[in-house]
Amino acid sequence: MPPNGSYLPQGNPQYVVRNYYLELIFLGILLLLLVDLLNSVRTGALPLTRLLTFVWDGIIIGLALGLAGVGLSMTYSILGFANVSHGDAMTAGAFLGWSSVFLLVGYGDEAFGQLLLLGVGGDLFASDLGISLFKRPWAVLFGIVATGALTAGLSLLIDRLVFKPLRDVGSLMVLVASVGVAFILRYLVVFFYKPTQRSVAVAPERAAIGLFDGVPVIAASREELVAGESILEFPVGVGRKTQSYLQVTSHEVLLIVTTILLMVGLHLLLQRTKLGKSMRAMADNEELARARGIPTERVINWTWIIGGSCTGIAGFLVVLERGTMSFQFGWLLLLLIFAAVILGGIGSIYGAIVGGIVIGLTTTLSLVWLPEATLARPVAFVIMILVLLVRPQGLFRGRVVG
Amino acid sequence: MSRAGNVVESVRARLADSDYSDRSLIVGTMLAIYVLYLLVGFSLGFDVNGQVNALQRITFLTAVFAMAGLALNLHWGYTGLFNVGIAGFMAVGVYAMGMATAPQNPETTTAVPGLGLPIPVGILIGILAAALAGLIVALPALRLRADYLAIVTLGLSEIVRLSFSSNTLGEFTIAGTTMGTGGNSGINLVGDPSKIVRQFYETGFGIGPLSDLSGAILDSFASVGIEQIVVINLSYTVVVVGILGFVYVLVQRLGNSPFGRSLKAIKEDEETTQSLGKNTQLLKAKSFVIGCGLLGLAAILWQGSRGLTTPDTYMIELTVFIWVVVIIGGAGSNTGTVLGAALFVSILDEGPRFFRDIVNATFDIPRAPTSIVEAVGSIGEGDLMPLLAYVFGELAALQFVLLGVVLILIIKRRPEGLMGHRKEPASTLDISRPATERGDGAPGPPAGSSDPEAGTGEKEDATDE
Amino acid sequence: MSETETAPTEQEETAPEPILSVTDLRKEFSGITAVDSVTFDIEPSGMTGLIGPNGAGKSTTFNCITNLVSPDGGTVVFDGEDVTGMPTYRIARKGLIRTFQIARELREMTVLENMMLTANEQNESPFHAVSPGLRDNVRRQEERLLETAWELLEFFDIDHLAYSYAGTLSGGQRKLLELARALMADPEMLMLDEPFAGVNPTLEERLLDRLHALTQEGYTFLVVEHDIKLIMSNCERVLVMHQGELLADGPPEFVREDERVIEAYLGGEVSG
Ligand SMILES: Nc1ncnc2c1ncn2[C@@H]1O[C@H](COP(=O)(O)OP(=O)(O)OP(=O)(O)O)[C@@H](O)[C@H]1O
Ligand SMILES: [Mg+2]
């Protein structure tokens, strides 16, 4: 029985707009857009190549958002506050991680200071080190691990210094403190690395996917595909069409594969181990979890480690895919990550991934209708706000962590 | 009670008289800051124009940040509404004003046309637009949990900023009228409120006695060597300070009223307040809309005098500035908010730059090295100056770091800020102390029912429990 | 169930219109049925007790009646008007005020501010609060309210605490404040959730005194309480809940004899 007898939920349920009509209207609009999309592909107003590129890009952004969202989602549900410094932890982690990759690759050949600062104030450029997945696979692998570890360490350090002493403070004030952390991280990056954009990786290896004489093929480039010089051919074909539909890069594929592997690993970790169970218990009710003897501080540490490393790896892969980074990239991603987490339902890992993909697709597919790319992010934010208003529990209601 | 005791009592009552002590606190703080800046200016060899300019700048920024802070205090300090979209509401106010006042047929082809309305009308439109933006957010979003409201408002401010920077809104035509935000390059603010002040000095609005007056003012300033442009800026600052005073009284009165009492109750426990028969949604919406209107006003007075506003003025940084002002001052206290603005502007915002200027003027600082590694490297050679030069070169970044540190330290060490501990009576009457200590006519306990002395005695007992 | 349902209907022909009538109220929380088809009427003026073991659903019933928690089914009629699903504040404005099991005084406000807050017919317009002339009207209104507040504080003997912050009061004093504050709203009916919990015997005596005085004035009370003896000796009618259901409804002597009630309390306290 409740010791105090009060079960009044924190938020008055009457505020939760449980209006299924609104959800139906949403679905209706979505359906209309889908019909319009298919129609414009049919009429040729929207070339299939363009559509496929949008979808591919959307999935890549989405998976990165989802992977970065895992950490945000976990700290949100277990520690109970929206961590605004999450994006800047990603930035700081990525800068540190790339510095370590530069040192690994260029040590001895280039000036130490130049490597450490990714070429600030000197003449070290990405092309001097030539980092890409196929050219320097070990460096990239090292970068993934190092960035994950460094970001996890950074998250732990921040928790120790800032958030741990604030465990008993109201969640809104912790949110404000996290804004302070965000500022410190972001502008320390500026202080050391300067505000200009840094280019870190060279252009990745590409491949084109399409049809050659009706047979689905993969080729090294669009031209080679059309010329029939394919790397891989599928045994069956339809029709006699020859066209290149989609260009992919090795870094994009790496991002997708790594993210999926990490998600599966995370799933197993949280489902099969005691840690996962403890996390769920803490997200449900921290007092109760403590009373049951769950070592809450240890669980919190693991939360930061897991969340931090996922975030760091996501940041590293995004930078690798883009080839460049600036001090604002994590902050610019943050609201999109929030959107993904909220859409999926705070505390749900699958939610974060699905939410991420939906948000990612939104930012690319909305370009079909939008007059310019600047408006894509606002559209994603509008969707986030609408979700909060109509279905604040997200798509995957309730099930916290895992 | 002895005679001496009575005197002590009355002095204490006098000091506790919040209006009196608050005003002197604000004035005292500003004077202290002025003295500090005059000393700095003196050491930098400023002439009289430079000195006046520096003080004017500090005062002006303090006034506009205090005004925005008061609006946030109404939201957060009084009502508990976690508004992180401040920059967005400010942008809406400024842009609406800018678009309303831009001429219909601009002289240059690069300028975006607008509605060509007079400046006062434009200012009013700006305030109303910001308030309307507040209303649009308030209607659905105030139902949400506080942290969701934070995310919604943050998202909204980004939506506003990005949309204003888009080419689509940069120039568009509605019902035959062309106007726009100017996209990434911003919008010329023709509707500059400080223009009214300038007109007063330049033409006296074409009214004889007024132009005589303005001439006389200019002459007397000129006699101490102060230029016309400085006088105009100074006068505009005086006007803005006057408006701040007005806004201060407005927010203070809102707080000390049945309206403010209900807001205070909502901040503490919304469900209980509902159970006592208050339409909390409506009350919150009113508070939110009023605050957003004030944010619009503050932003117009601030940006208007710059002649140009660009979308990147309204990044999250601006929102954080206003939050720092309120958190330094202490949520819930209007006086604290004004003090917070004064300290923020003079110490956190302008202070480091002045400090750099002093050091630069006193020591021979070399050119900044190109990277921190170089700067640190020269420490090994026993030379600290390159590092200092590098730090000065990146001062703007370090200021943000400092801001973050201050924010965290306040939340850790003194979450109530400078004056957040002091509660104001949430009533038009002073119901915080017995009438005998106040000496005014507000009703106290009915005569003979209870001895006020005994009352205070037991009050202390109760506190001990 | 048949007993509990027939008894009130028979009375209805002779008794006055009920002030509160709850029909078939239901509420489920993820599997637990906290309130299960609860039906009862309350006649104006008088004190009705609502008892039941921990978790019986008493507080949830209160929450559903005031729509702090929206009920899954059933109707609530107050003062002849269907108020089911009506916003909480409007139900309160109609004159149905409830208190909470854990006193929810507004800690950061003084006792007087707590009192002044509650008056319903006051001018809360922000425009009036800031306009020079209109503010004087608000002021005059507040002066009148202040007098009422003092009277009530005196009635409950907590006027000496008027200037203290509500958070500094003792548990018993808080309960008194909650009651005094509720009365500031000028209600017709009060639903009190364990008003005597944590109150020392002398204070309890005083509180009961006040409640009886108020019933004489025509106020209606529905009181949740764990102290069965207290309920039995002070209420003319008792409702008993158990596992979400209404077990019994009638005068204390009648309820005391009900077997299911005795069983619900493990044959203990009720008979003793
Ligand atoms: N918000 C809620 N969420 C989930 N379960 C709830 C909630 N509120 C109440 N319950 C459950 O409903 C049942 C009834 O609870 P309620 O608080 O109404 O009982 P009560 O009779 O007031 O008990 P007590 O005497 O302890 O105050 C309990 O089993 C409780 O666990
Ligand atoms: Mg209860």
Band (A165; pLDDT cuts 50, 70, 90): very high
Dump pLDDT digits (tens) for A75-92.
Answer: 988 888 999 999 999 999
User: What is the rounded average pLDDT of the residues A239-246?
Assistant: 82
pLDDT of residue B264: 92
CA-wise closest residue to A327 among B157, B393, B388, B397:
B397
DSSP notation for A325-374: E-TTHHHHHHHHHHHHHHHH-TT-HHHHHHHHHHHHHHHHHGGGT-SSGG
Query: Given strand A206-212, what is the order of strands in its sheet?
Result: A230-233, A215-219, A206-212, A243-249
The owner of tokens 């923020």 is: B344
| Residue in chain B nearest A113 by alpha carbon | B373
Min distance C231 CA to chain B CA atoms (Å): 25
Provide, as residue numbers in chain C, all residues whose Cβ is less than 8 Å from the Cβ of B142: none
Alpha-carbon span A364 to A37, nearest angstrom: 13
ipTM score for this prediction: 0.87
- What is the Cα B402 distance to its own chain's centre? 20
The owner of tokens 């003792």 is: C170
Contacts of B223 (CB under 8 A, 6+ apart): none
pTM flag (> 0.90): no
Report the DSSP pairing between strands B308-309 and B187-188: antiparallel
Query: Given strand C46-51, what is the order of strands in its sheet?
Result: C96-98, C189-193, C220-224, C46-51, C237-242, C245-250
Provide, as residue numbers in chain A, all residues whose Cβ is less than 8 Å from the Cβ of B271: 8, 12
Min distance C102 CA to chain A CA atoms (Å): 7
Secondary structure of residue A80 in the 3-state scheme: coil
CA torsion sign, C124 to C125 to C130 to C131?
negative
pLDDT of residue A104: 92
pLDDT of residue A19: 56
Alpha-carbon span A75 to A66, nearest angstrom: 14
Band (A359; pLDDT cuts 50, 70, 90): very high
Q: Which residues line ligand 1 (CB under 6 A)?
A: A 1, 5, 7, 9; C 29, 32, 34, 52, 54-60, 101
pLDDT of residue C254: 83
> Which of A165, A180, A335 lies closest to B155 in CB terms?
A335
Dump pLDDT digits (tens) for C11-37.
Answer: 445 557 888 999 889 898 877 888 888
Q: Mark yes or no for CB contact C29/A7 under 8 Å.
A: yes
Distances in Å between the alpha carbon of A158 and those of A79, A81, A155, B109? Answer: 14, 15, 5, 52
CA-wise closest residue to C97 among C112, C117, C111:
C117
- What is the Cα B320 distance to its own chain's centre? 12
In the DSSP assignment, the letter for residue A60 is: H
- Phi/psi for B291 (5° steps) reads -60, -40
Q: Mark yes or no for CB contact C159/B455 under 8 Å.
A: yes
pLDDT of residue B19: 60
Token pair belonging to B104: 């219909």
Mutation target for A interface from C32, C64, C67, C69: give the one with most A CBs within 10 A. Answer: C69
Report how far apart the first and last C-alpha atoms of chain B are (Å, whole number): 27
| Residue in chain A nearest C197 by alpha carbon | A4
Ligand 1 atom closest to C30 (CA): 4
User: What is the rounded average pLDDT of the residues A389-400?
Assistant: 66
Token pair belonging to A285: 């009710």
Secondary structure of residue B256 in the 3-state scheme: coil
Between C168 and B72, the higher pLDDT residue: B72
Provide, as residue numbers in chain B, all residues whose Cβ is less than 8 Å from the Cβ of C118: 276-277
In the DSSP assignment, the letter for residue A110 is: B
Alpha-carbon span B248 to A344, nearest angstrom: 43
Report the DSSP pairing between strands C189-193 and C220-224: parallel
Tell the residue nearest (CA) to atom 27 of ligand 1.
Answer: A5
Chain C contact present for B16, CB below 8 A: no
Q: Which chains touch A (3 or more CB pairs under 8 A)?
A: B, C
Token pair belonging to A336: 């999109």
Which residue of A1, A4, A6, A7 sits with most ligand 1 atoms within 8 Å of its CB, as the best mutation to test the pocket?
A7
Secondary structure of residue A231 in the 3-state scheme: strand
Distances in Å between the alpha carbon of A36 and those of A41, A43, A315, A367, A376? Answer: 9, 10, 35, 13, 18
Alpha-carbon span C101 to C50, nearest angstrom: 13
User: What is the rounded average pLDDT of the residues A228-256?
Assistant: 85
Residue B201 contacts residue B235 (beta carbons within 8 Å) = yes
Dump pLDDT digits (tens) for C220-268.
Answer: 999 998 888 888 888 888 898 888 888 888 888 888 877 777 777 755 4
Token pair belonging to C184: 């500031």
Residue C52 contacts residue C58 (beta carbons within 8 Å) = yes
B:73-102 residues touching chain A, CB 8 A cutoff: 82
> If residue B118 lies in a helix (H) or strand (E), which one and from where to where?
none
Report how far apart the first and last C-alpha atoms of chain C are (Å, whole number): 25
Query: What number of C-beta contacts closer than 8 Å exist between A and B?
Result: 160
| Residue in chain C nearest A16 by alpha carbon | C70
Band (A166; pLDDT cuts 50, 70, 90): very high
b/e A180-214 (16+ beta carbons within 10 angstroms → b)? bbbbbbbbbbbbbbbeeebbbbbebeebbbbbbee
Min distance A372 CA to chain B CA atoms (Å): 7
Q: Mark yes or no for CB contact A6/C100 under 8 Å.
A: yes
Secondary structure of residue B145 in the 3-state scheme: coil
Q: What is the signed CA dihedral for C205, C211, C215, C217, rounded to 10 degrees?
A: 110
Question: In degrees, to the nearest 5, what angle opens at C-alpha B68 toward C-alphas B357 and B405?
Answer: 50
Alpha-carbon span A329 to A315, nearest angstrom: 9
pLDDT of residue A66: 95
Chain C contact present for B465, CB below 8 A: yes
Tell the residue nearest (CA) to atom 28 of ligand 1.
Answer: C55
Residue C20 alpha carbon to ligand 1 centre in Å: 22
DSSP notation for chain C: -HHHHHHHHHHHTTSPPPSEEEEEEEEEETTEEEEEEEEEEE-SSEEEEEE-STTSSHHHHHHHHTTSS--SEEEEEETTEE-TT--HHHHHHTTEEE--SS----TTSBHHHHHHHH-SSS---HHHHHSHHHHHHHHHHHHHHHHHHHHHHHHTT-GGGTTSBGGGS-HHHHHHHHHHHHHHT--SEEEEESTTTT--HHHHHHHHHHHHHHHHTT-EEEEE-S-HHHHHHH-SEEEEEETTEEEEEE-HHHHHH-HHHHHHTTT-TTT-
Alpha-carbon span A115 to A111, nearest angstrom: 6
Alpha-carbon span C250 to C236, nearest angstrom: 8
Residue A286 alpha carbon to ligand 2 centre in Å: 22
Secondary structure of residue B274 in the 3-state scheme: helix
Q: Is the pLDDT of residue A391 over 70?
A: yes
DSSP notation for A234-256: -S---SS--EEEEEEEHHHHHHH
Token pair belonging to B278: 């208050």
Residue C55 alpha carbon to ligand 2 centre in Å: 7
Between C3 and A19, the higher pLDDT residue: A19
Token pair belonging to B325: 């002002």
Alpha-carbon span C20 to C43, nearest angstrom: 7
CA-wise closest residue to C76 among C39, C110, C120:
C39
Q: Is the pLDDT of residue A12 over 50?
A: no
Q: Options 1.10.10, 1.10.3470, 1.25.10, 2.40.10; which CATH number does A47-197+249-390 get?
A: 1.10.3470
Provide, as residue numbers in chain A, all residues whose Cβ is less than 8 Å from the Cβ of C88: 12, 14
Q: Is the pLDDT of residue A5 over 80?
A: no
Mutation target for C interface from A1, A4, A6, A284: give the one with most C CBs within 10 A. Answer: A6
Residue C234 alpha carbon to ligand 1 centre in Å: 25
B:286-345 residues touching chain C, CB 8 A cutoff: 286-287, 290
Continuous H helices in A228-328: 250-272, 274-284, 286-291, 296-322
Q: What is the signed CA dihedral for B353, B356, B358, B361, rounded to 10 degrees?
A: -120
Residue C34 alpha carbon to ligand 1 centre in Å: 6
pLDDT of residue B212: 79
Share the mean pLDDT of chain C.
84
Question: What are the mean pLDDT values of chain B's consecutive 10-residue runs (465 residues total)?
Answer: 59 57 85 90 83 90 96 94 94 94 80 85 95 90 82 92 89 81 86 82 78 82 82 91 95 92 92 92 94 96 89 93 93 91 92 85 82 83 84 91 94 86 75 58 46 38 35
Ligand 1 atom closest to C69 (CA): 1
Residue C240 alpha carbon to ligand 2 centre in Å: 13
Most confident among A339-348, B365-374, C91-100, C203-212 (mean pLDDT): C91-100
Residue C194 contacts residue C224 (beta carbons within 8 Å) = yes
Residue B154 contacts residue B68 (beta carbons within 8 Å) = no
Between B73 and A284, the higher pLDDT residue: B73
Q: Is B375 exposed, middle or buried (0-12, 13-18, 19+ CB in 10 A)?
A: buried
For chain A, what are the domain ranges? 47-197+249-390, 206-248
